[in-house]
Amino acid sequence: MKKSLLWIVVLVLSISMVAAFSLYGCKAEEEVTAEEEVTAEEEEAAEEEEVVEEVTAGEGIVIYAQMGGSAGDPSTLPRQNGAAAAAEQWGCEIIYQFSEWQSDKMISQFKEAVAAEPDGIIIMGHPGVDAFRTSVEEAEGKGIIVTANNTPLPEFETTYGGNGFGYAGADLFEGGYVTGQQIIAAGNLQEGDRVLEYGLRAQPERGKSDEGVYQAFLDAGLTVDYIEITPEVDADASLCIPILTGYLASNPDCKAIGTQHGNVTSTMGEVITAAGLEPDDIVVGGIDLSPKTVEALQEGYVDLVLDQVLYLQGYLPVTQIMLSKLYGIPGLHINTASGVVTSESIVDILSLIDEGIR
């Protein structure tokens, strides 16, 4: 009996020891897990600090940026949104300049920017190399990083590319030529058909885009009429309506209109309506994706536009300056326009257009 009782006591003690060791093991595992969680949290916090440092790498850096038309206008807003997004990511400050597309205003604004001695300046090449030359030389001499968007300045890219002078925008002639070819295809135009190119061919750099459309029409053997856009229409595109309706009244055999002016493109629905025509009566090809142009594409008044992705023309130059300033990256030449958007394909990007990205 005593022996049996002893065995029972030993058994109970054994079970108690096993339980105790198991409990200790669980607690030890919990402690290790807790330590691992603390370590993981510390590592995550450290990573977040690193991300914050990256995002604010541009703190104190000031960039002047030429945006083109007027604040919020359809051919300017996506570019401004792109620049703002890049500035937020880098943590730099952007001072926007709006010129209503007037070359003389771009030059005066650039001189003002150089005088302020910021870290970088984004210019639009519309006035041409000669008009910019003296001020660009002054800016480069002061160590200001200069780069271009929308209209290139190839000579400056060659001379100052090592300092960060790059370009983000369409290859103007090529983009215009593609637009012209697509207009011809959309209308199944034949040799001898009458077409109108309405553009800015007189401008040394910006005019290359319209020159591309014009040349594509000529190469197809079309009868090409041309009207130069006036400075007044350049600033207020609604003024083109009586000009174009007058042309169409005098030339009822015109089968297509091509332009590389974004705001003029956005008025084409009104032009066709005012001329008493239906969407299928004439082919229209233009550029950019303003809200009014999107509506005209959906309704068939505009058949296609060159998509030069204006958002990138704001985003990439800011990034160019930051990369050059912080890491010595040379100027990059980036073509942001490689195709057209049609009345059929517009559906796929409507949500992005509404957000001011496309």
Mean pLDDT over 223-240 rounds to: 96
Query: For residue range 153-165, what is the model confidence (pLDDT) as tens digits?
Result: 999 999 999 999 9
Q: Please tell me the predicted confidence (pLDDT) of residue 291.
A: 85
Q: Please tell me the predicted confidence (pLDDT) of residue 47.
A: 54
Whether residue 277 has pLDDT greater than 90 = yes
Mean pLDDT over 170-192 rounds to: 96
Q: Please tell me the predicted confidence (pLDDT) of residue 357.
A: 81
Whether residue 314 has pLDDT greater than 80 = yes
Query: For residue range 100-116, what is the model confidence (pLDDT) as tens digits?
Result: 989 999 999 999 999 99
Mean of the per-residue pLDDT values for the chain?
A: 87
Nearest residue to 103 (alpha-carbon basis) of 207, 197, 177, 175: 207
At 218, list the tokens: 């000529």
* % residues pLDDT > 90 (the chain): 73
* % residues pLDDT > 70 (the chain): 85
User: So what's the architecture of 172-307 in CATH?
Assistant: 3-Layer(aba) Sandwich (3.40)
Sign of CA dihedral 280, 284, 285, 291: negative
Whether residue 25 has pLDDT greater than 90 = no
Per-residue confidence band for 257, with pLDDT thresholds at 50, 70 and 90: very high
Whether residue 20 has pLDDT greater than 60 = no
Whether residue 241 has pLDDT greater than 70 = yes
Top pLDDT among 199 and 18 is at 199
Q: Domain boundaries in the chain?
A: 62-170+310-337, 172-307
Mean pLDDT over 250-258 rounds to: 98
Nearest residue to 255 (alpha-carbon basis) of 305, 188, 341, 301: 188
Query: Kind of pairing, strands 333-335 and 167-169?
Result: parallel
Q: Is 108 left (phi over 0), alpha (psi -120 to 50) or beta?
A: alpha
Whether residue 31 has pLDDT greater than 90 = no
| CA distance between the termini of the chain | 93
Mean pLDDT over 40-63 rounds to: 66
* Domains 62-170+310-337 and 172-307 agree in fold: yes
Q: Which CATH class is domain 62-170+310-337?
A: alpha beta
Whether residue 264 has pLDDT greater than 60 = yes
Query: For residue range 324-357, what is the model confidence (pLDDT) as tens digits?
Result: 999 999 999 999 987 899 999 999 889 888 887 8
Mean pLDDT over 52-75 rounds to: 83
Mean pLDDT over 1-20 rounds to: 39
Q: Please tell me the predicted confidence (pLDDT) of residue 40.
A: 54
Per-residue confidence band for 55, with pLDDT thresholds at 50, 70 and 90: low
Whether residue 1 has pLDDT greater than 90 = no
Mean pLDDT over 199-216 rounds to: 94
Whether residue 8 has pLDDT greater than 80 = no
**Residue ranges of E strands in the chain:** 62-68, 93-98, 120-124, 145-149, 167-169, 194-199, 223-228, 254-258, 283-287, 304-307, 333-335, 339-342
Q: Please tell me the predicted confidence (pLDDT) of residue 46.
A: 52
